[in-house]
């Protein structure tokens, strides 16, 4: 599990911007909330895979706890995974040809497509029949053309997303930034996201918390879901 340590200047900044508060959202209404789980696929989870993020295996219990709590409270769980279509090298040539090496590109093309050995969800994740399972073809699930996640959420009247998964500083951060820019209340879960290093993880959380998202632990999110459920009942 990552050692979470936001720099003092980040904490000072968010207190100034939020009138002394560390958190934006005191309650999370389950009826308007979705847990968005990003890229918890074998390609990023399985030892020896080119995309392995070892810490991602550590966050599985917290993601399962969040999913269970949100289902029980009436929220939605969305498992969002990379699925690279045949035209990805042309439609996203900068990423596939310029940014990644030939070896990494070939590994991604082999594994991050339907039928690839690295494509399925990690088997220790606990899904349910009512959960959504959907694909994205870019880092962010909210950028135009990447997935139908936003349309699904709007159709159910959900305006709040809780972002978990891997990598914190790539697909999860991209998704969280775009979610806020699309006017969703956004929460990053500090102990249910994973990066390659503590530094990458903390830098990403520090950037997001100052403008784009609230940052909470799994326990803090579940407590706020329970508060939101109680408020709705009243």
Annotated catalytic residues are 39, 136, 171
Main-chain phi, psi angles of 94, to 5 degrees? -60, -45
Return the SS3 of 52.
coil
Cβ-contact 2, 201 below 8 angstroms: yes
Question: Can you read off the two tokens belonging to residue 50?
Answer: 């080119």
Cβ-contact 159, 180 below 8 angstroms: no
Q: Which residue, among 157, 154, 152, 211, has the nearest Cα to 181 in the 3D structure?
A: 211
Terminal CA-CA length for the chain:
37
Q: Alpha carbon of 6 to those of 140, 174, 209: distances in Å? A: 24, 19, 10
Cα 91 to chain centroid distance, Å, stands at 24
Taking the CA atoms of residue 220, residue 200, residue 207 and residue 14 in that order, the dihedral angle to the nearest 10 degrees is 50
Beta strands in the chain (DSSP E): 33-38, 76-82, 132-136, 160-166, 185-194, 214-216
């Amino acid at each position: 599990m990552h050692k979470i340590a936001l720099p003092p200047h980040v904490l000072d900044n968010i207190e100034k911007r939020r009138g002394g508060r560390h958190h934006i959202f005191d309650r999370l209404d389950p009826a308007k909330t979705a847990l968005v789980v990003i890229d918890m696929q074998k390609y990023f989870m399985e030892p020896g895979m080119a995309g392995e993020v070892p810490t991602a295996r550590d966050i599985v219990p917290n993601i399962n706890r969040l999913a269970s709590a949100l289902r029980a409270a009436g929220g939605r769980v969305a498992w969002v995974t990379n699925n690279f279509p045949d035209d990805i090298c042309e439609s996203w040539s900068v990423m596939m040809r310029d940014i990644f090496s030939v070896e990494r590109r070939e590994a991604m093309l082999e594994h991050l497509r339907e039928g690839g050995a690295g494509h399925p969800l990690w088997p220790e994740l606990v899904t349910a029949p009512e959960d959504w399972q959907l694909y994205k073809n870019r880092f962010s699930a909210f950028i135009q053309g990447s997935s139908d996640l936003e349309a699904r959420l709007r159709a159910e009247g959900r305006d709040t997303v809780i972002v978990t998964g891997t990598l914190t500083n790539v697909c999860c951060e991209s998704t969280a930034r775009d979610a806020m820019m699309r006017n969703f209340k956004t929460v990053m879960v500090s102990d249910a996201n994973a990066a390659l290093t503590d530094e990458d993880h903390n830098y990403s959380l520090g950037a997001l918390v100052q403008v784009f998202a609230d940052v909470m632990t799994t326990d803090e999110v579940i407590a706020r879901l329970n508060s939101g459920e109680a408020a709705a009942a009243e």
